[in-house]
Every structure is written in structure tokens, then in C-alpha cells.
Structure 1
Amino acid sequence: MVQLNFNHLRYFWAVAHDGNLTRTAQRLNLTQSALSVQIRKLEQQLGHPLFERRGRQLHLTEAGRIALDHADAIIATGDELIGTLRDAGIARQALRVGALATLSRNFQMAFLRPLLGRANVELILRSGSTAELLQSLEDLSLDVVLINHAPARDKLTRFVAHRLAEQAVSLVGTRARLRKKGSLIERLRQHPLIVPTADSGIRIGFDALANRLGVRPQIAAEVEDMAMMRLLAREDLGLAVLPPIVVRDEIAAGRLVEAHKLPGLAETFYAVTIERRFPNPLVAELIHRKEKWGVGPT
């Protein structure tokens, strides 16, 4: 049985975090060639290259990213052991999740809930634009990306979009504002509206619906962030056009009311992964729950 050489692992760990072989060698008081030899020996033990060169830069391979996750846990546990001499802690598995900055926080929490509170799981959460997140997924710095539209897939991309849920979009407001009964058209004409920005799928669909209904809505606010839309709806700035999951807690508490479902409007939630030789098993655990989201395979 081949046993791991922890000196080799620590050298790899140092280079992976520095991202520069020369700088790491200087810091460790080693020659660059000696440090390279140590990393090659680790690669031989593991049977996979851990770095690839792109110009003058070192980048982790997929195997290198997995090795770094384990190295982080091993070295952290060793440091804790030295510090406490007992209760060295539990090896933790990292899951790196990226989410569209405007995506419902309630949906994100629902997706992650099975892992919350697990002592052996470390969640690393990042947000950004779709382009930024998908680039990070390709660079293997994220394990899964949560967005509201499926990315294009062709011979040059390896994205896999897992459809998790589809939420109807509704007109939502305070009880006071909705006390008087009215039809959808009447309410669209009578009340100011809080809507997503013009480039969002929901807004495009809503504008088309308003046109079909012959309504010219009064826009009180155009908002990119769903969390801000929720707050403005609670402040009674107007009726909000959003998926009810965004204001689930407020509806349950009676602070907001779902007045009308908007016909033909829905937001679809996707978990996007990339074809990998060594996928993170935690991702599959979360995605395989999708029968609980009420959607079938896509």
C-alpha cells in the first residue's frame, strides 16, 4: 500500500496557495528545482498531474483542486492538534457554490439546507454575474452554480444544467394595499409596481403580458436584487412582480399577500455543473433531491 508523504503534500499546499513556484521556493528557503522535484513525487504517488502551466502561471488541474481541498483539511487538522493536543477536529469537505447575485436567497437556502450544520462540510459561497460564475466553474474554482436560465451547450462547453424548480411569478403586496378587491388588470392600472430590471427574463415576460392586456403600468422602482424587491414590497412602495418564494416568510407571516399569479410568467432555477472526472459528491447529493422540488429530469 502506497502511503502519502506529508512533506510532499505540504510543499504542494504552499505552491497551490502562492500560485508561484519561484516565490514559494524563496519563502521555504529551497531551490526552485528541489521544490519541483517534491511536487513531481507527489504527482507520481497520486497518479495525476496537479498543476498545468498557462504561460508563466501555474493553474491547478481538477485533480489538483481536489488534492488542495484535502490538503487544507489535513494541514488545518494538524495545526489544531499541535495547538490543543486533543479534539483534533473532524476532516471537512469543501463545497464551492456560486449563485447569481440577483437570485432568491430563499431558494439558495432551500438548495443548501441538507448540508447546513454538518460538522464535516465547509460551504464556500460566492455570488456574481452569470458570465463570472460560469467562468469560475470552467476554472474549477466552483463546484456548482445556481442561476435562473440554462447556459448554452455546444462542443466547446461542458456545462450540464440540472433543472431544479419552476416558480410561478405573482403580483404581491401588503394586506392594506390589497384590501379592496380587484381584477389583475384593475390592480395593474391602479397601483405602482416594483419590477425587475429590463434585462431580466421576468421583466421581459411581464412587459409582454402588460402589452397583451392593454395596460401601461406605473413603475415605482426597477430593481436588480430580489432581496431589495422584497424589502420595498414590505415598505408598501407598490405591488411587486416576483416569484412567491422570494417573499415566502412574509406571506406565511401575513405581512404580504399573493394577489394574482401572472399568466405565462415563471422563473426556472438551475444548478449548473461541468463534466468532470472527479465531481464533488456533495453536488450530486443536493441535485439528486430534485424530485422534492417538484420537477422531473430535463
Structure 2
Amino acid sequence: MADFNYNHLRYFWAVAQDGNLTRTAERLNVSQSALSVQIRKLEDRLGHPLFERRGRQLHLTEAGRIALDHADAIFATGDELIGTLRETGAARQAVRIGALATLSRNFQIGFLKPLLGRHDIEVILRSGSPAELLLGLQSLALDVVLTNQPPPTDALTQYIAHSLSEQPVSLIGTPQLVGKTRSVAALLDRHPVILPTLGSTLRTSFNALVDRLDIRPQIAAEVDDIAMMRLLVREGFALAVLPPIAVRDELASGMLVEADALPGITETFFAITTDRRFPNPIIRMLISNMGSDST
């Protein structure tokens, strides 16, 4: 691209970091109109608008987000040159992943595993509520959202839910508490149980199961965080309704044991994306990798 003007790209890079044309113009000691001209020339060269104005703030478009990622890499080359000669550092591609705050950490590590140890990729991992994460996906601040809750569907925002893994759900407990009994009905009749909170799909399925079995279990705790459920069940005072993947290490060590799977109850893990003209190819690779692992 012989006629590409990197000065235009540098001005865009500066504005993208500030999100405000006036502030960037003052910082660079150039006029606001001159800065606007440089941005328009870059947009004309790339064939896509890079910003959209919302009030006084400039927000990146999808093309703008991609241009920013490349600008970050391009303007890191000076540091990369110095780093290479000093045997430090290299330019890296950003991958922005959001995960439900209560999602199994073991599942998240499994999704990220192909990226671990790669020096050419920087993983930006954020956790939050479903609403926060989907907002990040819409605003292009995230490339993908990991969740165990299918997203809402409407005509305005069409999410794509990639089913990555469907895990069985079992009664989990310490060896002392479970003993030799593996019967779900017998264990629930005998011991208190730690459950997901009301409103979750897992809790709804469990309530339907115990109703069919005509059991009224003693509820020891209701918890919306799988990591906290994992810690509580290790204390040995109650059983827990969990997918075994959430306590994989404890099961392997014998600290916890798995009773029978709860019939008809599974937990599905999703990767949520949106339809983008320029999807992050790393995300596509990760989703394909999980799909091949689950078959």
C-alpha cells in the first residue's frame, strides 16, 4: 500500500485514545479542523467510517475498532525493534473476551487454552453481569461473551449463540458425606443441598426434578457463583448441584466425589458473538476448537 499515509493513521490513533476531537487537537497542538481533515482522508482511503458521534464523544465503529488494533500494532513496531534488539517484547494482537462472573473457571481456562503461552496474542478478559457483557459486545469492546445463559433475541440486536459444550449436572459432595450411596433420591432425602439461585435455568430444572421425585430437599444455601459453591461443598456440610467440570480438580484428587448425574439436567456453555463484517479470526478459531473437543 504505497500511498498509505501513516500520519493520518497516527492522528486517528490519537483521537481513538482520547475519544474527543477537541482534547486531541489541544494535546497535539493542531487545529480541530486540521485534525478532522486527517481523519476524513484516512476514512476515504480505507473506505469505511471510523467514528460515530454520540453527543460530544466519538465512538469507534466496527471498522474503527479494527483500525485501532492495527494502529496499536503498527506503532508498537518501534518499541518492538528496540525490544527485539534487547531481547524483550513483541507486538501482539488483542483478543477481548467477556465472561459471566459466575461462570466455571475451569470452562474459561479450557476455552482460552489454545492462546496460553502465545507471545503474539494479548488476552483481555473481563467478567460481569449478562447485561454488562452484552453491552460490551454491542459496543465492540468485546469480541465474544462466554456464558451459560442463552442471550435474549430481538430484531434490533441479533446475537449468535454458539453452543460450545453441554455438561451433565450431578450431586457432588465430600466422600464422608456421600458415602457409598449414589442414589439421587436417597442422598437428597438424607443431606442438605447447596443450590443455584432461583431464576437460573439449572435451578428451574432441579426444582422440576425433585417435584417429579416427590422430594422436599433441605436447602443449605442458595448461591449464584459456581466458584463459591465449589468452596462451600468442600467444607463437607452439604451436597451441591454442580456440573463436574466446575470441581474437576477436586474430583481428580478425591477431595470430592460425584454421585449419580441428575437425570435430564445439563448445563450448556455458550460463546455469544454478533454478526460483524470484520470478525476477529482468533475467536472463530477458539469456537471451532471447542466444537471439535466436544465431539
Q: TM-score, normalised by structure 2?
A: 0.94
Equivalenced residue count is 295
Q: Name the stretch that deviates more: 7-16 or 271-280.
A: 7-16
Q: Give the letter for the 1:49 counterpart.
A: P
What is the CA distance between 1:163 and its match in structure 2?
Answer: 0.8
CA distance in 2, matches of 1:88, 1:251: 40
In structure 1, what is the equivalent of residue 292 of structure 2?
292
What is the CA distance between 1:87 and its match in structure 2?
Answer: 4.5
In structure 1, what is the equivalent of residue 248 of structure 2?
248
Compared with structure 1, are the counterparts of its residues 88 and 239 closer, same or farther at alpha carbon in structure 2 (3 Å cutoff)? closer
| SS of corresponding position for 1:289 | helix
In structure 2, what is the equivalent of residue 230 of structure 1?
230
What is the CA distance between 1:294 and its match in structure 2?
Answer: 2.5
In structure 2, what is the equivalent of residue 2 of structure 1?
2
Matches within 5 A, 1:206-285: 206-285=206-285
Matches within 5 A, 1:100-249: 100-181=100-181, 183-249=183-249
In structure 2, what is the equivalent of residue 78 of structure 1?
78
CA distance in 1, matches of 2:158, 2:264: 31
| SS of corresponding position for 1:188 | helix
C-alpha root-mean-square deviation of aligned residues, in Å? 1.8
CA distance in 2, matches of 1:76, 1:194: 50
CA distance in 1, matches of 2:148, 2:3: 45
Compared with structure 1, are the counterparts of its residues 290 and 182 closer, same or farther at alpha carbon in structure 2 (3 Å cutoff)? closer
> Does the CA contact (< 8 Å) of 1:168 and 1:267 recur in 2?
yes
In structure 1, what is the equivalent of residue 98 of structure 2?
98
| SS of corresponding position for 2:91 | coil
Compared with structure 1, are the counterparts of its residues 16 and 182 closer, same or farther at alpha carbon in structure 2 (3 Å cutoff)? closer
CA distance in 2, matches of 1:271, 1:229: 23
CA distance in 1, matches of 2:239, 2:292: 30
| SS of corresponding position for 1:255 | coil
> Does the CA contact (< 8 Å) of 1:77 and 1:89 recur in 2?
no
What is the CA deviation profile of residues 103-135 of structure 1, one whole-angstrom value per residue up to 9, with x for unaligned ones?
Answer: 111011111111111110110001111121111
CA distance in 2, matches of 1:257, 1:83: 49
Q: Give the letter for the 1:48 counterpart.
A: H
CA distance in 1, matches of 2:292, 2:278: 26
Q: What residue ranges of structure 2 are gaps of 5+ in the alignment? A: none
Q: Give the letter for the 1:270 counterpart.
A: F
What is the CA distance between 1:46 and its match in structure 2?
Answer: 1.9
> Does the CA contact (< 8 Å) of 1:226 and 1:246 recur in 2?
yes
Q: Give the letter for the 2:144 counterpart.
A: V
Q: What residue ranges of structure 1 are gaps of 5+ in the alignment? A: none
> Does the CA contact (< 8 Å) of 1:2 and 1:45 recur in 2?
no
> Does the CA contact (< 8 Å) of 1:8 and 1:38 recur in 2?
yes
> Does the CA contact (< 8 Å) of 2:182 and 2:260 recur in 1?
no
> Does the CA contact (< 8 Å) of 2:80 and 2:91 recur in 1?
no
CA distance in 2, matches of 1:181, 1:155: 50
What is the CA distance between 1:85 and its match in structure 2?
Answer: 5.4
What is the CA distance between 1:182 and its match in structure 2?
Answer: 5.4
CA distance in 1, matches of 2:195, 2:164: 24
What is the CA distance between 1:155 and its match in structure 2?
Answer: 2.7
What is the CA distance between 1:292 and its match in structure 2?
Answer: 2.8
In structure 2, what is the equivalent of residue 68 of structure 1?
68
| SS of corresponding position for 1:35 | helix
Identical-pair percentage: 67
What is the CA deviation profile of residues 271-294 of structure 1, one whole-angstrom value per residue up to 9, with x for unaligned ones?
Answer: 111101100000110111243342
